[in-house]
Amino acid sequence: MVGRELLALLERRRFPVAQLQPFSSGRSLQNVRFRGRTLQAPAIDAKLLSCCQLVFMVSSEEVARRFGPKLAAGGVWVIDDSSEFRLDPKVPLVIPEVNSSALNFHQRLIAGPNCTMTGIAVAGWPLHKAATVREVRLATYQAVSGAGRDALTEFFDQSRANAARQTLAPDGRAPIWPCPARRALPQPIAGNVFPQVGSFDPQGHCGEETKVARELRKVWSAAHLRVSVTAVRVPVVRGHSLAAWLRFSRPFAPQRARRLLRHAPGLKLMTANYPTPLAMAGLAPVFTGRLRPGIDARELCLWVVSDNLLKGAALNSVQIAEHILRKGWLKRP
Binding mask 113-142 for ligand NAP (x = CB under 6 A): --x---------------------------
Please tell me which residue in 115, 128, 179, 206 is annotated as part of the active site.
115
User: Is 2 a binder of ligand NAP (CB under 6 A)?
Assistant: yes
Q: Closest approach of Cβ 296 to ligand NAP, in Å?
A: 35
Cβ-based burial of 179 (10 A; exposed 0-12, middle 13-18, buried ≥19):
buried
Within residues 140-179, the interface with ligand NAP by CB under 6 A covers: 145-146, 148-150
Q: Closest approach of Cβ 277 to ligand NAP, in Å?
A: 12
For ligand NAP, which residue of 7, 9, 54, 58 counts as binding (CB under 6 A)? Answer: 58
Q: How far apart are CA 185 and CA 193, in angstroms?
A: 11
User: Is 27 a binder of ligand NAP (CB under 6 A)?
Assistant: yes
For ligand NAP, which residue of 30, 50, 153, 159 counts as binding (CB under 6 A)? Answer: 30
What are the CA-CA distances from residue 122 to residues 94, 141, 181, 276 (Å)? 11, 17, 37, 17
For ligand NAP, which residue of 63, 232, 279, 301 counts as binding (CB under 6 A)? Answer: 63
The residue (of 158 and 308) whose beta carbon lies closer to ligand NAP is: 308
Q: Closest approach of Cβ 143 to ligand NAP, in Å?
A: 7
Active site residue 115: yes
Active site residue 106: no
Q: Closest approach of Cβ 257 to ligand NAP, in Å?
A: 27
Closest CA to 276 of 257, 289, 291: 289
Q: Closest approach of Cβ 125 to ligand NAP, in Å?
A: 19
What are the CA-CA distances from residue 243 to residues 87, 117, 246, 314 (Å)? 24, 12, 10, 23
Q: What's the residue count for the chain? A: 333
Sign of CA dihedral 35, 41, 46, 48: negative
Please tell me which residue in 128, 179, 206, 240 is annotated as part of the active site.
240
Closest CA to 189 of 135, 223, 152: 152
User: Is 68 a binder of ligand NAP (CB under 6 A)?
Assistant: no
User: Is 106 a binder of ligand NAP (CB under 6 A)?
Assistant: no
* Contact by Cβ (8 Å): 22, 32: yes
- Which listed range, 85-93, 153-161, 283-291, 305-313, lies at the site for ligand NAP (CB under 6 A)? 305-313
Q: Closest approach of Cβ 208 to ligand NAP, in Å?
A: 11
Within residues 306-325, the interface with ligand NAP by CB under 6 A covers: 308-309, 312-313
Residues annotated catalytic, as ranges: 115, 240
Q: Give the footprint of ligand NAP on this chain (CB under 6 A).
A: 1-3, 23-25, 27, 30, 44, 58-60, 63, 81-82, 115, 145-146, 148-150, 308-309, 312-313
